[in-house]
Amino acid sequence: MKKIITAVILVSAACLCLSAEEIYLASGAGYKRPVNEIAQTFKKETSITVNCIYGNMNQIIAQSKKTGKVSLMIGDSSFLKKSGISFVKKQELGKGKLVLAFPEKIKITSIEDLLKTDIKKIVLPDGTKAIYGKAAFEALSAVNIHERLKESDRLLVVQTVPQVTAYLSSGEADAGFLNITDCMSLDNKKFSYIEIDKKLYSPIVIECGLTSSADENSVKFYDYLKSDSAAAVFRKYGLSE
């Protein structure tokens, strides 16, 4: 009987070790909702935990270099390319869309409407750290209103896309630039949005990079991102057509 009990304990311990398997992924904060959803489904299917780190691209790149634990990174292709991180391989996950969100009480039909006097505060991510901030700057510059808005002190620059959402939700901003994915977290009964013409900003290609520190479990998740299940989640959050 003791041998049987010992065997059961050993088997249980082995199962616990397997369930404790984990990997680390760093992602731009604007993709938190779809990445979390995919990571949770992946865990249910494989028992592998995906520890997700979010922030603007500069933050997650620095964090990845500091810890040495990050085996996967999700973000705009241009940031990944200049990150200084060694990637074994990369794959495209979708295309990013810049939108302008605003409360229902404010009427905006085009980006030029931001010059209206009733729009006092416009929030956008930092263009040097977040791709959607860079896109917003390009779009505002393309229609020749960036300098006018800046001079009138109506532009509020924040660190990440979710911070834009927070300012809008709290009523501290009259309009905000963000990606369509995070925009979906806003109450559609209280907020509206318009998609910014893609001709006004550089294409946003979202990629996942597999780092040189990736193990077998990291490769499993990397491959899972190509599955029909993951693709459906990306479509759900507006990252692919």
Cβ count near 78 (within 10 Å): 16
Question: What's the average pLDDT block by block, 10 residues per block, for the chain (241 residues)?
Answer: 42 41 94 96 97 93 91 95 94 95 95 94 94 97 97 95 95 96 90 97 96 95 97 91 61
Give the tokens for residue 190.
Answer: 């209280």
Does domain 22-96+211-236 fall under CATH 3.40.190.10? My reply is: yes
| Structure letter (DSSP) for residue 199 | G
CA distance 53 to 28: 8
Q: Look at the pTM and tell me if it is higher than 0.85.
A: no
Q: What is the pLDDT of residue 120?
A: 94
pLDDT score at 189 = 86
In this prediction, residue 49 carries a pLDDT of 98
pLDDT at res. 18? 39
Residues of the chain within CATH 3.40.190.10 domain(s) are 22-96+211-236, 98-200
How far apart, in Å, are the Cα atoms of 48 and each of 24, 53, 146, 218, 230?
11, 16, 46, 9, 16
Instruction: Quote the pLDDT of residue 241.
Output: 61
Which H/E stretch holds residue 6?
helix 2-19
Which CATH topology does 98-200 take?
Answer: D-Maltodextrin-Binding Protein; domain 2 (3.40.190)
Backbone angles phi, psi at 207, to 5 degrees: -125, 160
Quote the CA–CA distance of 23 and 145 in Å, as a whole number: 44
Provide φ and ψ at 237, rounded to 5°.
-100, 20
Please report the pLDDT score of residue 95 as a whole number.
93
Give the DSSP H/E element, type plus range, for residue 65: helix 57-67
pLDDT of residue 10: 40
Which residue's structure tokens are 């949770």? 40
What is the distance of C-alpha 109 from the center of its chain?
26
